[in-house]
Copies of this chain bind each other. A is one copy, B any other.
Amino acid sequence: MRTYLDCIPCFLRLTLEQGRLLTGDEIVHRELINEATKLLPRFSLGLTPPRMVKEMQEVIKRRFPNCDPYKMVKDQSNHRAMELYPMLKEKVAQSEDGLLTAVELAIAGNVIDYAAKNNLNIEHEIQTILTGSFTAEQKSVFEYDLFKRDLAEAKTILYVADNAGEIVFDRVLIEEISAGRKVIVAVRNKPILNDAIMEDAVFCGIDKIARVISSGVDSPGTVLEYCSEEFLKIFKEADMVISKGQGNYEALTEAPRNIFFLFKVKCPVIARHAGSQLGNIVLKKI
């Protein structure tokens, strides 16, 4: 997906959010914004948003080398999601269509970290996930039959993870689909926003149920040009690719293979691009 001008205010918002996580000094926040601002006129809108965010990330890294501003947010999300894990498993076990429930939970899990980052009521979101189910309207783009059909024929699956915390919800889905199949889970190579990296995957026990690899990228979306050889080989050869979250959607919609995208719609630009609505969940094969 290309970048739209609507993304530019969001890039600055992300820079400010990170600045605030790293220091309480408003003068530094202002300087970070000013430096990020200087990059904007040079950006090519033909590139994907995760590429731009990676470039703007250099502004943060120049001042705070080796920083990981979302470390605490990620740890909290992982812990809270792990506490929920037994309830998620129970919900799947109790449901008529366990796979469907696991798919819905994996998408719903995408909202928890977002709540954490935006000071929303995280417990409220969790209750909604655990007790509720999605309406037909919320699932206006939800190609579950296609997903089930392709899954039935797949022997190897590449699962491209998104955020910390959320990967516990992914674990529930991975456990549903891994019987008789080889599942490889890809996480980011280095900290970028609150995206899951290897240590998050290990903390959440993903390495016990699947092979976990690094995609090689430190952009908040799996930009193929940045990916490792190892990842690209698996990406090409896997029978099925499952991509989680908006960042991976942005990065991979024009990739040279079919992918199932699973995400919660959190932004109007993506809502339009995916033919869905803000707040809806999407399961879409492209």
Please tell me if A133 contacts chain B, counting CB pairs below 8 Å: no
Pick from B5, B16, B26, B37: contact of A40, CB under 8 Å: B37
Interface centre among A16, A33, A34, A37 (most CB of B within 10 A): A37
Stretch from A7-15, A49-57, A75-83, A213-221 forming part of the interface with B: A7-15
Q: Could you tell me the distance in whole angstroms from the C-beta of A257 to the nearest C-beta in chain B?
A: 30
For A33, list chain B residues within 8 Å (CB).
Answer: 5, 8, 40
| Mask: chain A, 86-123; 1 = CB below 8 Å from B; 0 = not | 00000000000000000000000000000000000000
**Min C-beta distance of A251 to chain B, whole Å:** 22
Hey, which chain B residues are within 8 Å of A37, CB to CB?
37, 40-41
Chain B proximity of A5: nearest CB distance (Å): 5
Interface size on A, residues (CB 8 A): 18
Tell me, in angstroms, the Cα distance from A178 to B206 when the chains sit together.
69
A37-B41, A41-B37 as given contacts; A30 in contact with B10, CB under 8 Å: no
Closest chain B residue to A26 by CB distance?
Answer: B5
Nearest to A32 among chain B residues (CB) is B5
Question: How distant is the Cα of A9 from the Cα of B8 in the complex, in angstroms?
Answer: 8
Instruction: For the complex, give the distance between the alpha carbons of A272 and B217 in Å.
Output: 37
- Distance in Å: Cβ of A124 to nearest Cβ of chain B: 14
Bound Cα distance from A10 to B8, whole angstroms: 10
Complex Cα gap A9–B14 (Å): 10
Residues in B neighbouring A8, C-beta threshold 8 A: 12, 16, 33
**Cβ-defined contact, A16 with B5, below 8 A:** yes
Whole-angstrom CA separation of A34 from B37 in the bound complex: 9
Measured between beta carbons, the chain B residues less than 8 angstroms from A202 are none
Q: Does A6 contact B (CB under 8 A)?
A: yes
- Complex CA distance for A38 and B12, rounded to whole angstroms: 14
Interface check A146, CB cutoff 8 A: no
Least Cβ–Cβ distance between A178 and chain B, in angstroms: 41
Q: State whether A9 touches B6 (Cβ < 8 A).
A: no
Interface string of A1-33 (1 = CB under 8 A from B): 000011011101100100000000010011001
| Inter-chain contacts of A5 with B (CB < 8 A) | 16, 26, 29-30, 33
Give every chain B residue within 8 A of A38 (Cβ-Cβ): 41
Closest to A16 in B: B5
A47 on the B face (CB < 8 A): no
Kindly state whether residue A45 has any CB partner on chain B within 8 Å.
Answer: yes
Provide the residues of chain B in CB contact with A45, threshold 8 Å: 30
CA A68 to CA B9, docked complex, whole Å:
23
A26 CB, min distance to chain B CBs, angstroms: 7
Contact of A6 among B16, B34, B40 (CB under 8 A): B16
